[in-house]
């Protein structure tokens, strides 16, 4: 599936259309502001594109947390309602960290709803869920997908030799893995059989 995105030019009246495949996480073009950051401009362009991809997914994850928080029902309501809100607060911090890193590198943080809808790779959140088990399943899927994306991002940042962005994504990955553990614990009763 090919998507069209609009890149801002130096003048607000000019916009350039470009096409990108939904599986591609690097933006074809990224405008940068001047900075004295010593990462090479070519590296910063790639890093900004990759971080904006993670930003879109983090914002999507945040909205999924709130969807679960608002709509969960059942015997575990209060525990899950609070847990989902706590996760949302942490994800809000991840959103801010990602957006600020983009801007530190001279980029533009792309965090509008329209951009998020175009670029997120997270599974969609079903709107008709109500039970705690259903929300645990859906949110654990989203957390796992975001954690995987963060780990892929770490490898990409290492290849681009941006230790700062790799460290940021490592911090986010650890936090998401912890929240995934907390959510999945509501659904786990016994360990799976050992693998021979």
Averaged over 9-19, what is the pLDDT? Answer: 33
Residue 5 has pLDDT above 60, yes or no: no
pTM for the full predicted model: 0.83
Confidence at residue 18, expressed as pLDDT on a 0 to 100 scale = 32
> In 7-110, where does DSSP find H-type helix?
41-71, 77-104
Among 170, 44, 173, which residue's Cα sits nearest to residue 101?
A: 44
> Where do we find the tokens 């607060």?
89
Separation CA 170–CA 174 (nearest Å):
6
Confidence at residue 190, expressed as pLDDT on a 0 to 100 scale = 61
Among 183, 192, 172, which residue's Cα sits nearest to residue 92?
A: 172
Least confident of 11-15, 48-52, 186-190: 11-15
- Tell which CATH architecture fits domain 38-184: Up-down Bundle (1.20)
Residue 12 has pLDDT above 70, yes or no: no
Q: Where are the domains of the chain?
A: 38-184
Percent pLDDT > 90 in the chain is: 79
Burial class (CB in 10 A: 0-12, 13-18, 19+), 146: buried
138-159, pLDDT tens digit by residue? Answer: 999 999 999 999 999 999 999 9
Separation CA 18–CA 104 (nearest Å):
25
Which residues, other chains included, contact 110 with Cβ-Cβ below 8 Å and sequence gap of 6+?
Answer: 52, 55, 56, 102, 119
108-149, pLDDT tens digit by residue? Answer: 999 999 999 999 999 999 999 999 999 999 999 999 999 999
Residue 7 has pLDDT above 50, yes or no: no
Mean residue pLDDT across the chain: 86
């Amino acid at each position: 599936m090919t998507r069209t995105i609009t890149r801002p030019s130096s003048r607000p009246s000019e916009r350039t259309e470009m096409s990108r495949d939904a599986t591609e996480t690097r933006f074809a073009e990224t405008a940068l502001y001047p900075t004295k950051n010593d990462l090479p401009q070519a590296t910063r362009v790639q890093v900004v594109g990759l971080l904006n991809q993670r930003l879109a997914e983090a914002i999507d994850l945040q909205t999924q947390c709130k969807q679960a928080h608002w709509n969960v029902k059942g015997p575990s309501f209060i525990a899950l309602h609070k847990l989902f809100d706590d996760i949302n607060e942490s994800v809000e911090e991840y959103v801010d960290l990602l957006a600020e890193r983009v801007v530190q590198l001279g980029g533009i943080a792309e965090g509008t709803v329209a951009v998020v809808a175009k670029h997120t790779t997270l599974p969609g959140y079903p709107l008709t869920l109500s039970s705690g088990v259903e929300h645990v399943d859906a949110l654990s899927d989203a957390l796992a997908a975001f954690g995987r994306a963060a780990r892929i991002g770490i490898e990409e940042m290492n290849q681009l030799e941006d230790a700062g962005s790799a460290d940021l994504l490592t911090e986010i990955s650890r936090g998401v893995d912890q929240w995934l553990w907390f959510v999945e614990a509501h659904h786990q009763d016994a360990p799976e059989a050992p693998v021979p």
